[in-house]
Amino acid sequence: FKAGYKYIIGNHFFVMGALGYSSFKYFYSDEDGNLVSNKDGGFTWAPGIGVQFNALELGLRYESFSIKGGSISNLGFRLGFNF
């Protein structure tokens, strides 16, 4: 669950951000080769920048999930269409 805001700068550029909580499940193999699953969750934050041309939107976003013992992060490109 995240809530965010998009601020448009000039005619084409924007910055956006989101804060919230993420819950996820992951799988791994233990030392005996058995498939094991675990659930975790934590604080999430995601700043982003982008450009829009009429209905098309291109963006770059960094997203990070804080979990016990560290964090999980990713960097993503986004292509959107505004209705």
pLDDT in tens, the chain (83 residues): 899 999 999 889 999 999 999 888 888 898 898 999 988 888 999 999 999 988 899 999 999 988 887 888 999 999 989 88
pTM, 2 dp:
0.72
For the record, the structure tokens of 33 come out as 């080769």
Q: Are 40 and 28 in contact (CB under 8 A)?
A: no
- Looking at residue 40, what is its pLDDT? 83
